[in-house]
Structure 1
């Protein structure tokens, strides 16, 4: 691993930290990739616009579209880490993903129209990829788009659409042809979420919040000039855009170290057998094992960062780091609930500590083992693409 610091990176980190302290919207109440409450959106749009204007978001974009002159890959990692350290909001929605598609494949007219509004947060985007029958196997998507004059007419259903109820635009994948392999015949679109025929239905989750949505598309008309890239080439657009913005990998270790500090504080307050939990040998062993795993998860993330910077990535790097992080994050949440004893069954104001933060984190933590690729699927990718093991029969 070669991930070195330097005086200019130290100075940049201090600059970002000071900026967040002065202008940030304050800490998030909940962990995970969550949707804000509606009343939070105006100040978060303003905050996202500030981050872009200061050159902290979108800094790797070409300079002519607002990117930061002389930006280094390490800058993106630092911004993600400092936002995580402050436990505050970064970008809301799928704008980074959409920007990757537009910068890589969009027309000049699309870039001039959409990119400035991403930078000001006038437009928030959501990702319309997954379907009830096409989650881990995205190529199985069945939402159809048929050409009708100068519009495509779209019918189908999307699901697990984070921030769909806040989004102005959707980065949509739909099937425009059934010829050839299932990866072929998919087209990418920029869809207005307020179009007639778009029905957004928030999903109430086990956490009690509405972060995901179902999106039903019934005869939605999308102008042909909203196709991103070429017709039937959406699979390539999606795959390349997914790799455009990956600086968030650097925040994982920071998040886990923050949780670890909170666990030790909780163990100093909670009791086991009438004594502080930290005085219990079993509790100390559990925390010690978890601390070791947190350090390993952080080093795995740093390896991914290092190889991204040095262009020596291995197919196993990001999947293994994500799998291990999700498992350690789940273990941390389970420990936080267990330390509360019978009080661990309380939620929100009925919880004895942190207004139920650990209970919410526990209920949400399973999502990380699925989001970004289910752990089982990622392990198969590592086996087949990195280790060269025989493929399973499909």
Structure 2
């Protein structure tokens, strides 16, 4: 693992940390990839625009669209880590994905139309990929787009659309052909989320919040000039754009260490009987094992980060790091609730530890073992693509 932390990067980190401390809106109240409340959106749009203007978001974009001439791959990881360190809000929605697709495959007209509005946060984006029958197997999507003059007419259903109820635009994958391999007939589109025929329905989750949505598209007309890339080439567009969303990998360890520190601080405080949970030998052993797993998860994430930067990434790297991270994150949340004893059944402000933060984390943590590729699917990817085992 080779991660440069020389003077230049340390100066950049200090600059980013100071900027966040001086400008960030109130920290996120919940863990995970969550949607803000409607009343938070104006401040968060302004905050995202500040991060772009300062060159912390979009640093690797072409200079003519606002990228930094001195951009380095490490910058994205550093920004993600510093935001995670204080639970500051980052991007809302799928703007990095959409921007990656537009920069690599979009026409000049699409770049000029959308990229400046992503930078000002005038446009928030959502990712319209997953479907009820095509989650981990995205190539099985069935949403159809048929050409009708100078438009495509789209009908289908998407689900697990984070921030869909806030989004101005959607980065959509739809099937334009049924010939050949299923990956070959998919096309990428930019779709106005206020188009007639789009019905966004928030999903109320076990956490009590609505972060995901299901989106129904009924005869939605999309101008043909809003195709991103070539028709029937959406699978390549989507996979290439995912490379622009990977800076968060380096933040995983920061998130876990932050949760571990909070867990230790809470567990060291005396409870109702005047005795701290950490006074118990079994608790200390459990927390010690968990701390070791947090350290390993951080090293795995840093190794993936290093290989991305140095161009030596293996097919197993990111999947294994994600699987291990999601398991450790779940174990942290379970431990944070368990150490509260009977108080662990409290919710929100009724819970004595961190105002119910651990209860919310516990309810949400299982999602990380599914989102971004279910752990079982990722293990299969490692087996087939990295180890060469038969299907």
Would the TM-score normalized by the shorter structure come out above 0.5? Answer: yes
Other structure's SS at 1:184 match: helix
Is the contact between residue 171 and residue 188 of structure 1 (CA under 8 Å) also seen in structure 2? yes
1:38 paired residue number: 38
The CA distance in 2 between the partners of 1:13 and 1:247, in whole Å, is: 15
Q: In the TM superposition, what are the counterparts of 1:29-178 in structure 2 within 5 Å?
A: 29-178=29-178
- How far has the Cα of 1:26 moved from its partner? 2.1
The CA distance in 2 between the partners of 1:134 and 1:347, in whole Å, is: 34
1:23-79 deviation digits (Å, cap 9, x = unpaired): 001210000000000000000000000000000001011111111111111111100
1:244 paired residue number: 244
2:19 paired residue number: 19
TM-score, normalisation: structure 2: 0.99
Is the contact between residue 81 and residue 251 of structure 1 (CA under 8 Å) also seen in structure 2? yes
1:361 has 2:361 as partner: yes
2:331 paired residue number: 331
2:182 paired residue number: 182
Deviates more, 1:272-281 or 1:183-192: 272-281
Is the contact between residue 272 and residue 280 of structure 1 (CA under 8 Å) also seen in structure 2? no
- How far has the Cα of 1:272 moved from its partner? 9.0
1:303 has 2:299 as partner: no
The CA distance in 1 between the partners of 2:244 and 2:77, in whole Å, is: 13
1:224 paired residue number: 224
Q: In the TM superposition, what are the counterparts of 1:279-358 in structure 2 within 5 Å?
A: 279-358=279-358
1:372 paired residue number: 372
Deviates more, 1:266-275 or 1:360-369: 266-275
Other structure's SS at 2:136 match: coil
1:389 paired residue number: 389
Other structure's SS at 1:26 match: coil
Deviates more, 1:265-274 or 1:190-199: 265-274
Is the contact between residue 107 and residue 229 of structure 1 (CA under 8 Å) also seen in structure 2? yes
The CA distance in 1 between the partners of 2:275 and 2:349, in whole Å, is: 24
Segments of structure 1 that go 5 or more residues without pairing to the other structure are none
1:263-299 deviation digits (Å, cap 9, x = unpaired): 1111112549752111100010011001000100000
TM-score, normalisation: structure 1: 0.98
1:200-259 deviation digits (Å, cap 9, x = unpaired): 000000000000001000110000000001111111111111112311101000000000
The CA distance in 1 between the partners of 2:66 and 2:158, in whole Å, is: 32
1:3 has 2:6 as partner: no
The CA distance in 2 between the partners of 1:98 and 1:345, in whole Å, is: 41
- How far has the Cα of 1:153 moved from its partner? 0.6
For the aligned residues, what is the CA RMSD? 0.9
- How far has the Cα of 1:80 moved from its partner? 0.3
- How far has the Cα of 1:150 moved from its partner? 0.7
1:194 has 2:194 as partner: yes
The CA distance in 2 between the partners of 1:345 and 1:368, in whole Å, is: 22
The CA distance in 1 between the partners of 2:248 and 2:118, in whole Å, is: 18
- How far has the Cα of 1:350 moved from its partner? 1.5
Other structure's SS at 2:244 match: coil
- How far has the Cα of 1:184 moved from its partner? 1.3
1:369-394 deviation digits (Å, cap 9, x = unpaired): 01111000000111111111111xxx
- How far has the Cα of 1:181 moved from its partner? 1.1
1:210 has 2:210 as partner: yes
Segments of structure 2 that go 5 or more residues without pairing to the other structure are none
The CA distance in 2 between the partners of 1:237 and 1:58, in whole Å, is: 19
1:148-206 deviation digits (Å, cap 9, x = unpaired): 11111110100000000000000000011111111111100000000000000000000
The CA distance in 2 between the partners of 1:154 and 1:253, in whole Å, is: 41
The CA distance in 1 between the partners of 2:75 and 2:384, in whole Å, is: 33
- How far has the Cα of 1:324 moved from its partner? 0.4
The CA distance in 1 between the partners of 2:69 and 2:61, in whole Å, is: 9
The CA distance in 2 between the partners of 1:385 and 1:273, in whole Å, is: 54
1:263 paired residue number: 263
Other structure's SS at 2:184 match: coil
- How far has the Cα of 1:326 moved from its partner? 0.3
Q: Give the total of aligned pairs.
A: 391
